[in-house]
Structure 1
Amino acid sequence: MRKIQKMCAALLAGVMTVGTFAPSVFADEAAKELTDEQVINVRTTAFGNNYDVQDMGWRWMMAACYEGLYRDVADENGDEFILAGAESVDISDDGTVYTYHLREDAKWSDGVPVTAHDYEYGWKRLLNPDYAYDYASFIYNVVGAEEYNSGEGSADDVMAVAVDDYTFEVTLKVADPTFESKLVATPLYPTREDLAEAAGDNWGKDWTLCVYNGPFCMTDMVVDNKMVWTKNAEYWDAENVHLDTINWYIVAQESTAATMFENGELDQYQPTGDYAIKFEKEAEEGKYQYMVTDYPGTIGLRFNFINGGTSGLMSNVKIRKAISYSIDREEMIDAVYGRYNPAYSYVAPAITFNGSSYRSQVGEVIEDEYNEYVGDPDKIVALFQEGLDELGVETPIEDITLTYLTSGSTTEVQAEREYIQQSLEETLGLTVELSVAGDNSLFIADRNEGNYDFFLGGWYSDYNDPLDFLYTNYTDAYGMSFGGYSNTDYDALADQLVGETDMDKRLDIYKQMEQILLLDDCAFAPIYYATKQVLLQNWVKDYRTSSFGASAEFIWTYIDGKNQ
C-alpha cells in the first residue's frame, strides 16, 4: 500500500504540477494589510440554469462554489492538480483500491460537516439509471458501477463507499492511470442526500435549495442580469479566501464589455477578435494584465462517414486531405480569430501525460505533410483529382458541389464559415454550399441524418489525459457527433489500454491512434488549438484559471491598489 500525504498519486496520468493545497498569495507580508474593498466585477454572456453538480451543466460555476477530492487551478505556468476535499490517499500496490482520507474541518455552507457519505451518495446518484446523467460512464471502471447504471445491478454493489465519516474507498475493476484525472470533474463532487432527496425534481433547478462546500456561495441572482457570489465563511480554508464578493454581469455585446473594462467597471474580461488584439497591445504597455494559457480544446473539420456526404465523395481519404490542406491555418487564425494556435494534431497542447506536455513528447502529426501542400493549389487539386479517380468519378472538379453544414450568427462564426468556403472554392475550383441551420437542434438533426459533407467541430477535454480526446473516435462512442467514423484497428488499440499501467506503452498506443485518425484516415482536419485570453485590471492579484475545473478560479484572488 502506498500512502500519498497531501499530494497527488504517482499514477496520475497527466498533470503539470502536483502538490499540497497551499495558496501562494501574500508572500509579501505587507500585502496582508489590504485597504481595498475585496469585490471583483466580471462579465459573462449567459448564466446557466443547472445547479446539479452531477449533471456538469454549469461547470465554471460549480467548481468555484463546490469542491471535490481534488482541485485544479492554473496560471500562465500551467495547471496545478491538488488534493482539496481529501488530505491524503492510500493506493493499493496493484493500483485498484483508492482510500481517501477526508479533511475533518470541511463543512457545507450551512455548517453541516462534509463526510464520506456525501461522496458515496454523489457518486451513486451519478450512476442511478433513473437520472440518466451523461457523465456516469466516467466511473464505469468502479466495481459494480456500469452494472448499476445499466439496470443490471444495484447501488449496494458499487464499490465507492464510506468506510466511516472521513474515509472514502473506491475499488476499480482494473488499474487505470486516468482515474485520478477525472476527480476534478464536478459529477464526482459530494452531494447532500437529505437536501437532494427533499428537493426531488427541483434539485438542480432552484439555486436557493443549494448548499456549498467550496470557497464561495451563490447568494443572489437577477435573471438575465446579475449573479452574486459571496465568501463561504464555513469553507475549511476561508482564511486564505480574500474576496468577499464576486459580481457576475451578463453583457452580451462585446463592444459594451470592452467599454466597461476600459472604464474600470469590469475587473476581469475575456476579449475576442479585434478586441483581443487591441487589449493585448495595451497590456504590453503596462495598462492592463493579459494572461494567455493553453486550453484543452481542438477545433477542425469533421467529415461524413455515414453515407459519404451529400457529394458522395467523403469516403475517399485523398479528397478529405485535399479539403484539409486547402485551409491555411495560420492565415485563418489571423484573419478570423485574432487568437488561438494553429493545430496539426487532435490532442491539444494543454493535455499533459506522465508529468509533461503530451504534444512535446509525440510531436505534431500532420504538420510535415500539411507543409508539403499548403499554399500550392496545383498540388492540392492533383490530390483531389486522385481521389476522384479512385472513386471512379468523372465529374469535373469545377462541377462539384460540397455541403458545409453550419449554424450560428455571430460575427466570428460568419467570418469563420466564409473563410473556409472561400479557401476551398479558390484552391480547388469547386462550389461550397453553406447549409446554415437555424438553431442547434436543426443542426443536430441534419448532422445525424448525414445531410452534409463536412462541418466544423471538435472536442474540449473533460479530464487531463490524451484518452479523453482519442476515445471520442471509438466506434459508436459518441454517435453521429464525430461523423460516424469507425476503424477496427483504431478500436483495437483503444481496447489495449484497458488495465495498461505501463506509461511508455500507453504513450505509444496514443501515438498510433492519432496517426490512424489524422494521417491514415484524415477523419478529422485540425484547424486550431484553443487558448484562453484573460484581461485583468492591474489591481487584480493572484487570479487563477483552470482547464478542468472552474474556468474563472478566484480562490486566492485579491484586490490591491484599486484606490490608489
Structure 2
Amino acid sequence: MRKTKVLVGLLSTAVLLAACGNEGDAAAPSGSAAEAAEQVVRYTAPTELATLDTALMTDINSANYGGHIIEGLLRIDADGKPVPAIAAEEGTISEDGLTYTYRLREDAQWSNGTPVTAHDFVFAMQKLVNPDTGAAYSYLTETIVNAPEIMAGEKEPSELGVTANGDYEITFQLSQPTPYFEYLLAFSPFFPQNQEFVEEQGDRYGTSSDTVLANGPFTLENWDGTGLTWDLVKNENYYAADEVQLDEVNVQVIKETSTALNLFESGQVDNAHLTGQLVKQYADNEHLVVQPKARTAYVEFNWDNEYLQNDKLREALGLVINTEDLVNTILGDGSTEIGGFLPEDFVSSPVDGTDFAEEAGDFLEYDVERAQQLWDEAKAELGVGAITLSLVGDDDEKNKTISQYIQGQIQNNLPGVTVELRNVPKKNRLALADADEFDLLQTGWGADFADASNFMDLMYSESPYNEGGYANEEFDALIESAKSTNANNEEARWENLQDAHDILEEDYAFIPLYQEAESQLRNPAVKGILFRSVGNEFDLSRASVESE
C-alpha cells in the first residue's frame, strides 16, 4: 500500500510486542509462573489512522489495523499465500482463468450480530468501482467484467461482473486472466461491507470507531477519527474467537524516537522504533530486532512544475543524494540502498530466477560533479539562475530527518536551488499529494500483492497513485501489454515490465532512496505474531502474552 505501502520478509511499521503485568516491567508480567499473563498488548504506531473505510484506505497503517477488524474472502498466511478466511474453502477457478467461485462460511457475523453474506461482498465491490466513491484502488478491479466501463461512467455499478448466488456463494467474472487475482481477494479494498450499516452512516462511515462494523478477530474502539490512540478489542462474534488469545491491544501513536524509547525502558509500552545512532547504541541489546521489508522509499516529481520538466534538473537532483550515507549514517536502521523502483528479493524471472531489481540495475549514483554540470546546463535551458522547490513529507521523526538530509544535499551541492520543507501528518501528506500541492514528494510503496505490476502500475499515466503526473506513451503501452496481450505469457510479460523500468530510468522519473528495514526494541513476552510478506504487514489475531 501506498506510501507507505511490504513483502518478502516484511514487518510492520507498527509492530509491537508484548504486554503485560506491572508498568515498571516490560519484559514479563509479574507473579508466579502459574499466574496467567494479562492478555493485553501495549502497541505503538508510527502514524495516525486515515480511515477505516476499506474502499478508501490507501496507507499501510490504516490497512494494518483495518485488517485486524475486517476479513475478506481470503487472507495471506505465514507462507505468503492466499488461503480461505470468510470463504469456507478454496475457490473454484475455471480452466480459462476467467471465472472464480467461492462458497462462504455460514458462521461469520458482523459485530452487530448480522451474518456476513455474499451480498456484502457484492455491495463493497460495486462501491469500489463506483466513480462517485473516488476510490484510489478501484483500478485493481480493471480485469473484472465491466469494471473499466463503470469507472468511466459508461455503465452502472450493478453491471459489475461480481454476483451473489444466494447468500453464501459468490462469483467473479474476469475479462482476461489475472495471475494475482486471489491476492487481490485478500487485500483490503476487496473486503466486504454491510450495506444497511454503511448507508445508515452515510459520509461518516469509517471516520471513527463508532461508524464501522467488524467481522474479524477484533473490533476497533476509542478512536474519534483524529486521535492518536485507539484499542483493538477481542470480537466475541468472530467465527474463530476461541483462537484469539489477546483481550486488547492498546495503541498509541508515538512519532519521537526518544519518547518511545523512554516509554519502553520504563515498561509503559512494549516496543520502540529506533533509527540512526540509537540503533548502534542498542546493537547488542537482546530485545533489538531488525526486520527487512520489501518496501521502497523514493522522491516523486510534480511534472506540472516547469522546472522539473527539464530532464537535466531531475537527474542532477538525484545525483546529489548520497544514498549510502543516508542508509548507513542518517537512518542506520538496517535499510539498504536501492537503485530502482522495486525492492530486492520480491519477484524473480520465470526464465532463470533472476531477481527483478538485480536485472533492472541501478540508474542513479552519487556524483556531485556531474550533477553540478547538469544543473548549469539546466539553468541555461530554463533561463534562470535560481529556483525554489517544495518538499512534502510526513512529520514523524524519521521522515523529518530524511527531509532535512535531502534538503541539505540539494542546497549544498546545487547552489541556486532552495528546498522548502513541509512535513505534515501522514493524513495531510496524502491529501497534499492527491491535490498536487508539492514539487517534490517524499513517499514510498510496499507491495499489496506479489507481482512486479504492483509497483510498475504506479507510474502509469492514469494511475491514481501517479500523483506527480508522469506520462510516457511507450511506458503505458508496455504496462498495457503486460496486463492484456501477454497476461498469460510469463516470459513476455516479464520483458514488458523490465522494458518499462528501463524507460523510467531513461526519463529520470523519480529519485530512489532506499529499501526499508525496521529496527525495534521489543518485549519478547508476546508470542505468535505473524509477519506477512504480502499485503497487511502483521497479524496479532493468534498472538498471546506468556508469563516467565
TM range (shorter): 0.7 to 0.9
* Conserved 8 A contact 1:405-1:443: no
Q: Deviations over 1:5-59 (max 9, x none)?
A: xxxxxxxxx9869xxxxxxxxxxxxxx9983121111122554363322222631
234, 239, 242: which one aligns with 1:236:
239
Q: Which residue in 1 is equivalent to 2:529?
A: 543
Q: Which residue in 2 is equivalent to 1:485?
A: 470
Provide the rounded CA distance (Å) in 1 between the counterparts of 2:203 and 2:434. 32
Residues 1:326 and 2:320 aligned together: yes
Residues 1:315 and 2:310 aligned together: yes
* Conserved 8 A contact 1:542-1:558: yes
Other structure's SS at 2:418 match:
strand
Q: CA RMSD in A?
A: 3.6
Cα gap change, 1:110 to 1:445, in 2 (>3 Å): closer
- The one-letter code matched in structure 2 to 1:338 is G
Say which is worse superposed, 165-174 or 456-465, in terms of deviation.
456-465
* Conserved 8 A contact 2:410-2:419: no
Structure-1-length-normalised TM-score: 0.79
Q: Deviations over 1:60-93 (max 9, x none)?
A: 221011100222355xxx7454332222111111
Q: Which residue in 1 is equivalent to 2:293?
A: 294
- Which aligned pairs between 1:355-366 and structure 2 lie closer than 5 A? 360-361=355-356, 363=358, 365-366=360-361
Residues 1:553 and 2:539 aligned together: yes
Cα gap change, 1:435 to 1:128, in 2 (>3 Å): same
- The one-letter code matched in structure 1 to 2:449 is Y
* Conserved 8 A contact 1:291-1:535: no
Q: Which residue in 1 is equivalent to 2:29?
A: none
485, 496, 504: which one aligns with 1:509:
496
Other structure's SS at 2:177 match:
coil
* Conserved 8 A contact 2:392-2:423: yes
* Conserved 8 A contact 1:62-1:550: no
Cα gap change, 1:393 to 1:251, in 2 (>3 Å): closer
Q: Deviations over 1:200-236 (max 9, x none)?
A: 3332234334331111112444773642222222222
Other structure's SS at 2:107 match:
coil
- Which aligned pairs between 1:463-502 and structure 2 lie closer than 5 A? 463-478=449-464, 481-482=467-468, 484-499=469-484, 500-502=487-489
Say which is worse superposed, 346-355 or 255-264, in terms of deviation.
346-355
Other structure's SS at 1:465 match:
coil
* Conserved 8 A contact 1:349-1:359: no
405, 417, 420: which one aligns with 1:435:
420
Structure-2-length-normalised TM-score: 0.81
Q: Deviations over 1:103-130 (max 9, x none)?
A: 2332323343322122112111222344
Q: Which residue in 2 is equivalent to 1:63?
A: 67
Provide the rounded CA distance (Å) in 1 between the counterparts of 2:122 and 2:434. 41
- The one-letter code matched in structure 2 to 1:538 is P
CA deviation after TM superposition for structure 1 residue 276, in Å = 3.9
Provide the rounded CA distance (Å) in 2 between the counterparts of 1:445 and 1:36. 45
- The one-letter code matched in structure 1 to 2:269 is L
Q: Which residue in 2 is equivalent to 1:39?
A: 40
Report the identity percentage: 25
Q: Which residue in 2 is equivalent to 1:26?
A: none
- Which aligned pairs between 1:410-425 and structure 2 lie closer than 5 A? 411-425=397-411
Cα gap change, 1:65 to 1:152, in 2 (>3 Å): same
Provide the rounded CA distance (Å) in 1 between the counterparts of 2:520 and 2:391. 28
CA deviation after TM superposition for structure 1 residue 266, in Å = 1.4
Other structure's SS at 1:270 match:
strand
Kindly name which structure, 1 or 2, has the bigger radius of gyration based on alpha carbons: 1
Other structure's SS at 2:475 match:
helix
CA deviation after TM superposition for structure 1 residue 381, in Å = 4.4
Residues 1:401 and 2:386 aligned together: yes
Q: Which residue in 1 is equivalent to 2:111?
A: 109
Provide the rounded CA distance (Å) in 2 between the counterparts of 1:245 and 1:363. 43
* Conserved 8 A contact 2:459-2:470: yes
- The one-letter code matched in structure 1 to 2:96 is D
Aligned residues: 508
- The one-letter code matched in structure 2 to 1:293 is P
CA deviation after TM superposition for structure 1 residue 529, in Å = 1.5
Cα gap change, 1:183 to 1:44, in 2 (>3 Å): same
CA deviation after TM superposition for structure 1 residue 473, in Å = 1.7
Provide the rounded CA distance (Å) in 1 between the counterparts of 2:382 and 2:237. 72
Provide the rounded CA distance (Å) in 2 between the counterparts of 1:88 and 1:180. 10
314, 330, 347: which one aligns with 1:352:
347
- The one-letter code matched in structure 2 to 1:145 is A
Cα gap change, 1:212 to 1:303, in 2 (>3 Å): closer
524, 536, 540: which one aligns with 2:510:
524
* Conserved 8 A contact 2:145-2:161: yes
- Which aligned pairs between 1:213-228 and structure 2 lie closer than 5 A? 213-221=215-223, 224=227, 226-228=229-231
- The one-letter code matched in structure 1 to 2:320 is S
CA deviation after TM superposition for structure 1 residue 343, in Å = 1.2
Provide the rounded CA distance (Å) in 2 between the counterparts of 1:48 and 1:421. 28
* Conserved 8 A contact 2:351-2:491: no
- Which aligned pairs between 1:358-377 and structure 2 lie closer than 5 A? 360-361=355-356, 363=358, 365-367=360-362, 370=364, 374=366, 377=368
Provide the rounded CA distance (Å) in 2 between the counterparts of 1:326 and 1:252. 28
Provide the rounded CA distance (Å) in 1 between the counterparts of 2:477 and 2:155. 28
Unpaired runs of at least 5, structure 2:
1-5, 10-32
Q: Which protein has the bigger strand share?
A: 1
Q: Deviations over 1:389-436 (max 9, x none)?
A: xx96498xxx943533213565544543443344345555x3320233
Cα gap change, 1:35 to 1:260, in 2 (>3 Å): same
Provide the rounded CA distance (Å) in 2 between the counterparts of 1:327 and 1:156. 50
Provide the rounded CA distance (Å) in 2 between the counterparts of 1:33 and 1:361. 51
CA deviation after TM superposition for structure 1 residue 541, in Å = 1.0
CA deviation after TM superposition for structure 1 residue 556, in Å = 1.7
Cα gap change, 1:270 to 1:200, in 2 (>3 Å): same
CA deviation after TM superposition for structure 1 residue 196, in Å = 1.9
Unpaired runs of at least 5, structure 1:
1-13, 18-31
Residues 1:254 and 2:257 aligned together: yes
Q: Deviations over 1:470-496 (max 9, x none)?
A: 1222224348723x3222211111121
293, 303, 306: which one aligns with 2:304:
306
Cα gap change, 1:336 to 1:356, in 2 (>3 Å): farther
Q: Which residue in 1 is equivalent to 2:178?
A: 176
Say which is worse superposed, 263-272 or 55-64, in terms of deviation.
263-272
84, 87, 90: which one aligns with 1:88:
90
Say which is worse superposed, 413-422 or 499-508, in terms of deviation.
413-422
